[in-house]
Amino acid sequence: MKVAKFGGSSVANANQIKKVAAIIQEDADRRIIVVSAPGKRDQDDTKVTDLLIDLADACLAGQNGERELTDVIIRYQSIAEELELNLQIIETIEADLRKRISHPKENQEQFMDLIKASGEDNNAKLIAAYLQSIGLHANYMNPKDAGLLVSEQPGNAQVLPEAYEHLKQLNDRDDIIVFPGFFGYSKSGTLCTFPRGGSDITGSILAAGVKADLYENFTDVDSVFAANPTVVKEPVKIKKMTYREMRELSYAGFSVFHDEALIPAFKNSIPVCIKNTNNPTSTGTMIIAEREYFLNPVIGIAADEGFSAIYVRKYLMNREVGFGRRLLQILEDECLSYEHIPSGIDDTTIILRQDQLNPENEERIVKRISAELDVDDVHIEHDFAMIMIVGEGMHNTIGLVARATAALANANVNIEMLNQGSSEVSLGLAVNEKDTKASIKALYDEFFGGVKEETVQ
């Protein structure tokens, strides 16, 4: 049993959907197919999800949304016509959309979820119809009918434990199941979407529920790369990596997976393979529980921008019992989450996402820390990037930190903060955003510059 998820670029038009069908036909074990909403057909195109957001916004603004609705329907119609499908499927999609936009709008978040999720839902119906038209025993599956239960948190739904028991029943089916990604239903019957990367999360949940032998995630690249190919020219491909490595890299800006997507597969020891819809014979990248790391202790380098730092200094801070708790309590009172807290005997720095801050809460935070903790200095700085060096073998490698800092020094990059987690799977370095690309290039040259192979494992 394989669960195969196809992302937005893989189902963006009729030609891509034909490739998906060929991949399904090539392996009879691919029996659960998770699909996204149609993505961009080219660089200047608009994703269906974005068209649906425009539709929802128009409806919430009191407009009838007819123009926005027509844009969505035309997109599906163009796909259906190129696939030579009976246009009854478009009537079904239009009826579904009209029913959704007539839904009560008092809870705007729920309404937005309802409209956005139609992208995946209706694309699953269309793809199931196409698979049937070419002779495959395939059927659309509604997540509610499958029992995909989630918490009632619009835009941030979490799978409920009992969902896995319900999904287990899909093993008894002998047809190909076409399952929409991105959403589930609460116990009260409310549709709720997953966070960013929601279709990946759906695929991971289904793979765990049916105890799949493999979860395949089809996208538009041959594999995961050791660094961003838009920054580093022709970076090496990663042949094998662990769940922890993938999660660290995803958190730090790798766009292949959202960092939460693999958790269901990880907890159930389901191997994951990243593959290319446009080149399905490529071996891709396998994500597994453990790997041999003695050849390459570092597996990848990632970067994410948009961080701020709260600097706090107080003489003999290390001897003051409860100082850290009271400092974090101030952040909690402001509903702020943090990413890193490197600390010394008289100083501590709190790294957090910059989009959580604004002039008002910054002023409150500084005043409270200064008054309540009687510190010598507190100030906030912005526009930092977090550079993450990731690899399971780092904890057994002598001199790795020295190599990283020397590489950045040679590139004339100033390190604002250095933090190595207790797991020692990653090393985080904060730099100014203007130095992001230079940092990635310098670290890649240091750790992969001598790698002759096309792939690392």
- Has 197 been labeled as part of a binding site? no
- The per-residue pLDDT for 248 is 80
- The per-residue pLDDT for 261 is 80
Q: Where are the beta strands (DSSP E) in 135-278?
A: 138-140, 176-180, 183-185, 191-193, 214-219, 224-225, 237-238, 240-242, 272-276
Domain 300-456 superfamily per CATH = VC0802-like (3.30.2130.10)
- Has 120 been labeled as part of a binding site? yes
- Has 49 been labeled as part of a binding site? yes
- Of the candidates 393, 228, 392, the one whose C-alpha atom is nearest the C-alpha of residue 302 is 228
- The per-residue pLDDT for 144 is 97
Residues of the chain within CATH 3.30.2130.10 domain(s) are: 300-456
CA distance 278 to 301: 26
CA distance 305 to 106: 35
Longest dimension (CA), the chain: 76
8 A C-beta contact, residue 30 and residue 36: no
- Has 254 been labeled as part of a binding site? no
417-420 vs 426-432, strand pairing mode: antiparallel
CA distance 246 to 410: 28
Tell me which residue has tokens 């400092």.
327
- Has 6 been labeled as part of a binding site? yes
- Top-tier CATH class for 2-220: alpha beta
- The per-residue pLDDT for 421 is 63
8 A C-beta contact, residue 287 and residue 246: yes
In order of 234, 257, 300, 302, 444, the CA distances from 229 in angstroms are: 6, 16, 12, 11, 11
Residues of the chain within CATH 3.40.1160.10 domain(s) are: 2-220
Q: What is the pLDDT along the chain (457 residues), one digit of tens a residue?
A: 999 999 999 999 999 999 999 999 999 999 999 999 999 999 899 999 999 999 999 999 999 999 999 999 999 999 999 999 999 999 999 999 999 999 999 999 999 999 999 999 999 999 999 999 999 999 999 999 999 999 999 999 999 999 999 999 999 999 999 999 999 999 999 999 998 777 899 999 999 999 999 999 998 888 888 998 889 998 998 888 888 888 888 776 666 666 678 889 888 989 999 999 999 998 899 998 887 665 678 899 999 999 999 999 999 999 999 999 999 999 999 999 998 888 889 999 999 999 999 999 999 999 999 999 999 999 999 999 999 999 988 877 888 899 999 999 999 999 988 887 666 788 889 999 999 999 999 999 999 986 655 555 5
Residue 115 phi, psi dihedral angles, 5° rounding: -75, -45
- What tokens does 411 get? 């590139």
272-276 vs 214-219, strand pairing mode: parallel
